[in-house]
């Protein structure tokens, strides 16, 4: 499932992020890449431990904790501290699959990368190229979103970023370890949660069908979750 989540950051937050990142200490993006990715990766990246990366990353995580669509789709157990990259002057990232395990989660814990996230921080009209191309069962999907919008997609997918030929594409990227390891199970739970929300708006909180469906949803989480 490839899911667009709109307005993770609002207009005022985007302005603050853009101002903070304008003079940030960008370095070679290959520093954090695995072997396969390093061969294909040509971009700039903020050092993980820089103050600006840590501060802005914490704000993103806080925003995601409040975002009901993200919580429903990802069912997160761990969120990798967000990283930041910049593509300009022909930078691109060739086809690759993200590493399965990433060190450096909360308290230095390793996390399994079930889901990949790209949060766009540059307005799409300010740069040419820079599309995120993701291969899934429906074929290749091209993603280029407004600033503040995010795409959530399986980390198992083959994906790449096309060359940026004008301007600069700035984004945050990170991974999620879900409580539900299996992608098909997460999709079932997401569909159920959306149905529960729609039913609640139509019949109210105390309808017997809503109570039964909510119980089934939580029993499936109880059966499938790894916590």
Say which residue the tokens 């997918």 belong to: 157
Q: Is the pTM of this model over 0.85?
A: yes
Q: What is the pLDDT of residue 225?
A: 97
Q: What is the pLDDT of residue 28?
A: 85
- What stretch(es) of the chain map to CATH 2.60.120.620? 3-178
The residue ranges of the chain whose pLDDT is under 70 are 30-39, 105-106
Q: What is the pLDDT of residue 213?
A: 95
Q: What is the pLDDT of residue 227?
A: 84
- What stretch(es) of the chain map to CATH 4.10.860? 183-224
Q: What is the pLDDT of residue 217?
A: 98
| Overall fold of domain 3-178 | Jelly Rolls (2.60.120)
Q: Which CATH architecture has domain 183-224?
A: Irregular (4.10)
Q: What is the pLDDT of residue 30?
A: 65
């Amino acid at each position: 499932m490839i899911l667009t989540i709109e307005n993770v950051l609002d207009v005022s937050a985007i302005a603050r992020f853009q101002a903070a990142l304008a003079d940030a200490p960008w370095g070679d993006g290959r520093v954090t890449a695995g072997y396969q990715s390093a061969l294909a990766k040509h971009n700039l990246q903020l050092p993980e431990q820089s103050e600006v990366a840590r501060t802005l990353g914490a704000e993103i995580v806080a925003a995601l904790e409040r975002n009901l669509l993200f919580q429903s789709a990802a069912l997160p157990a761990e969120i990798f501290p967000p990283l930041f990259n910049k593509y300009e002057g022909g930078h691109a990232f060739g086809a690759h699959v993200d590493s399965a395990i990433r060190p450096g989660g909360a308290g230095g814990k390793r996390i399994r990368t079930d889901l990949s996230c790209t949060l766009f921080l540059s307005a799409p009209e300010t740069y040419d190229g820079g599309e995120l191309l993701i291969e899934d069962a429906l074929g290749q999907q091209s993603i280029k979103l407004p600033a503040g919008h995010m795409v959530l997609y399986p980390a198992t997918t083959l994906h790449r970023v096309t060359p940026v030929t004008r301007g600069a594409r700035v984004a945050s990227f990170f991974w999620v370890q879900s409580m539900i390891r299996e992608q098909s199970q997460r999709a079932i739970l997401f569909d159920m949660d959306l149905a529960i929300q729609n039913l609640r708006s139509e019949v109210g909180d105390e309808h017997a069908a809503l109570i039964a469906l909510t119980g089934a949803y939580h029993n499936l989480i109880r059966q499938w979750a790894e916590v």
